[in-house]
């Protein structure tokens, strides 16, 4: 590793304690999407202390912010998340399920680490620009409500990511790997039926059931499933069954639908077809339906050039120094897990090169995966992420870093429990260095940015980003 890069990455190591405390303070104040006032304030203050220019309230969202350092191009962004999950409160380092406060949120997706890790990367790049008097701008984006709120989608709609040359992010988890999976585009919509209440036995002829309409809509959608592209995903939740008394004709009912497909135009078409079914159901039952658009995400555009750079950095930068204490905690947590196929196993199964497989052999049964997975084949994932909307604006790459025991599930109490442990913080600092190292490589070799942009243009067909969220839809969390 070149001296300048090593020096910049040392900025992360010298702030080790401070960054760990920042992550812990976010863990101690878990806040759900669009309510992350403590996290936003804490991270924004940390940026100001480092000399970043902070802009708060981006896109009209109180907890969306950015910190900018430097001037001129290239402009490199780091994406930070910090929202927690509702109801996942759990005591730290505790290997039985025990909430700190019953019903409170908890960091089950490790976003306390995610936000601080990306911030640490931004600080290292700032250090690099400053020490070497190099033109360029580094930006940290405080992105609220990743969990179900599509915060980045609303920020993208407002043009927050305009002018970026590249962006990097990461996710805490159980493996060290570059993310080569594209995500699905999605729409989330509410269908509210309105009918007429009546005594279901005495005067059923006077009632018009909103619940009947809702059930007919769902039946219609089940038939639609046969006639959509193979990868399509259609999910729904009945959020209002219209009441609990069968003796009353239900005058209101609501379902929330989540429609996913590989490409946005496919989701748009699916949405129109589902709307027709809802309207048909309303017509059949002489009720009415109000269709409310909640949010949307674009698919993630993979960038193999940036993925290659991130893979190099994953392999070049010394891995997290997990010690016996970390392994011990990991083993205890593993004792509470229900056996299932892990992400590591999924990636491992796909490796065909016997040499690569041999390299990972020692790691298969390790309590924490320390190895770096080889760069995987690109593939279509079935989840969605609001990083998709950033990736339509500029080339984006993401890594996963091991911050938790092997085999752990996201959104679990176990994930909350290890979120404050030394193991988690070690993984976070490793991820920060890999992201910063990748950005520094791009600053040192302009052909990286050039190639990444050419690829981006090719993959998007040169189409400019168009927000999938209509202009009148406001951010909210369900
Ligand atoms: Zn999550
Ligand atoms: Zn997450």
Inter-residue contact 366 to 168 (CB < 8 Å): no
A 10 A CB-CB count for 335 gives 9
In the reported structure, the alpha carbon of residue 385 is separated from the centroid of ligand 1 by a whole-number distance in angstroms of 9
Which residues contact residue 247 at a Cβ distance below 8 angstroms, ignoring those fewer than 6 apart? 199, 200, 201
Q: Give the ligand whose atoms come closest to the C-alpha of residue 147.
A: 1
Asked if the 3-183+299-460 domain carries CATH number 3.40.50.720, the reply is no
A 10 A CB-CB count for 156 gives 27
pLDDT score recorded for residue 380: 93
Which residues contact residue 200 at a Cβ distance below 8 angstroms, ignoring those fewer than 6 apart? 207, 246, 247, 248, 249
What strands, in cross-sheet order, belong to the sheet with 75-81?
53-56, 65-71, 136-143, 75-81, 166-173, 396-402, 177-178
In the reported structure, the alpha carbon of residue 168 is separated from the centroid of ligand 2 by a whole-number distance in angstroms of 15
Q: Could you read off the pLDDT of 313-370 as tens digits, one per residue?
A: 999 999 999 999 999 999 999 999 988 888 899 899 999 999 999 989 889 999 999 9
Inter-residue contact 78 to 141 (CB < 8 Å): yes
Beta strand residue intervals within 274-432, DSSP E: 288-297, 379-380, 396-402
185-297 has the same fold as 3-183+299-460? no
Q: What is the mean pLDDT of residues 298-322?
A: 97
The CA-based angle 102-25-436, given to 5 degrees, is 130
Inter-residue contact 63 to 43 (CB < 8 Å): no
Core vs surface per residue 75-92: b (16+ CB within 10 A) or e = bbbbbbbbbbbbebbbbb
CATH code linked to domain 185-297: 3.30.70.360
Domain range annotation of the chain: 3-183+299-460, 185-297
**pLDDT band at 85, cuts 50/70/90?**
very high
Distance separating alpha carbons of residues 116 and 282, to the nearest angstrom: 48
Q: What is the mean pLDDT of residues 442-456?
A: 97
Which of 243-252, 291-300, 352-361, 411-420 has the lowest average pLDDT?
Answer: 352-361
pLDDT score recorded for residue 478: 76
All residues with CB under 5 Å from ion ligand 1: 109
In the reported structure, the alpha carbon of residue 216 is separated from the centroid of ligand 1 by a whole-number distance in angstroms of 32
**pLDDT band at 445, cuts 50/70/90?**
very high
Q: Could you read off the pLDDT of 162-188 as tens digits, one per residue?
A: 999 999 999 999 999 999 999 999 999
Q: Give the ligand whose atoms come closest to the C-alpha of residue 80.
A: 2
Q: Give the ligand whose atoms come closest to the C-alpha of residue 81.
A: 2
In the reported structure, the alpha carbon of residue 42 is separated from the centroid of ligand 1 by a whole-number distance in angstroms of 21
Distance separating alpha carbons of residues 454 and 329, to the nearest angstrom: 45
What DSSP character marks residue 363? G
In the reported structure, the alpha carbon of residue 399 is separated from the centroid of ligand 1 by a whole-number distance in angstroms of 15
Nearest to 305 by CA among 462, 454, 122: 454
Q: Give the ligand whose atoms come closest to the C-alpha of residue 173.
A: 2
Distance separating alpha carbons of residues 264 and 467, to the nearest angstrom: 10
């Amino acid at each position: 590793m070149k001296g300048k890069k090593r020096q910049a990455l040392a900025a992360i190591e010298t702030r080790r304690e401070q960054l760990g405390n920042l992550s812990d303070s976010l863990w101690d104040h878990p806040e759900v999407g669009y309510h992350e006032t403590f996290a936003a304030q804490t991270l924004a203050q940390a940026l100001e202390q480092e000399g970043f220019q902070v802009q708060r309230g981006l896109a009209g969202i109180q907890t969306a912010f950015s910190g900018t350092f430097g001037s001129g191009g290239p402009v490199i962004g780091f994406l930070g998340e910090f929202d927690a999950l509702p109801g996942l409160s759990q005591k730290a380092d505790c290997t039985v399920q025990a909430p700190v406060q019953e019903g409170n949120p908890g960091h089950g997706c490790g976003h306390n680490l995610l936000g601080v890790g990306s911030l640490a990367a931004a600080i290292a790049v700032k250090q690099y620009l400053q020490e070497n008097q190099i033109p360029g701008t580094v930006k940290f984006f405080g992105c609220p409500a990743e969990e179900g709120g599509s915060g980045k989608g609303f920020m993208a709609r407002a043009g927050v990511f305009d002018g970026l040359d590249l962006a990097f992010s990461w996710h805490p988890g159980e493996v060290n790997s570059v993310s080569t999976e594209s995500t699905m585009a999605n729409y989330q919509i509410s269908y509210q039926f309105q009918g007429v209440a009546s005594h279901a036995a005495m005067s059923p002829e006077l009632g018009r059931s909103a619940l009947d309409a809702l059930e007919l809509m769902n039946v219609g959608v089940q038939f639609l499933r046969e006639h959509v592209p193979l990868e399509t995903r259609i999910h729904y939740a009945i959020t209002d069954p219209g009441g609990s008394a069968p003796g009353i004709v239900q005058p209101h009912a609501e379902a929330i639908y989540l429609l996913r497909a590989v490409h946005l135009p496919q989701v748009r078409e699916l949405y129109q077809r589902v709307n027709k079914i809802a309207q048909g159901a309303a017509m059949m039952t002489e009720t009415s339906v109000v269709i409310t658009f909640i949010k949307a995400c674009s698919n993630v555009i993979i960038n193999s050039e940036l993925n290659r750079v991130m893979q190099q950095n994953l392999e070049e930068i010394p891995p997290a120094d997990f010690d016996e204490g970390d392994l011990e905690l990991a083993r205890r947590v593993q004792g509470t897990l229900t056996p299932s196929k892990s992400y590591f196993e999924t990636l491992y199964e796909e490796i065909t090169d016997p040499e690569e497989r041999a390299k990972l052999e020692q790691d298969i049964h390790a309590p924490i995966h320390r190895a770096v997975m080889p760069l995987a084949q690109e593939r279509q994932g079935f989840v969605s992420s609001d990083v998709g909307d950033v990736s339509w604006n500029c080339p984006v790459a993401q890594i996963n870093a091991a911050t938790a025991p092997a085999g752990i599930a996201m959104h679990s109490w176990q994930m909350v429990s290890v979120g404050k442990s030394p193991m988690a913080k070690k993984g976070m600092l490793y991820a920060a260095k890999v992201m910063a190292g990748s950005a520094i490589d791009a600053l040192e070799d302009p052909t990286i940015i050039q190639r990444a942009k050419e690829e981006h243009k090719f993959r998007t067909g040169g189409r400019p980003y168009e927000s999938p969220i209509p202009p009148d839809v406001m951010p909210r969390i369900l």
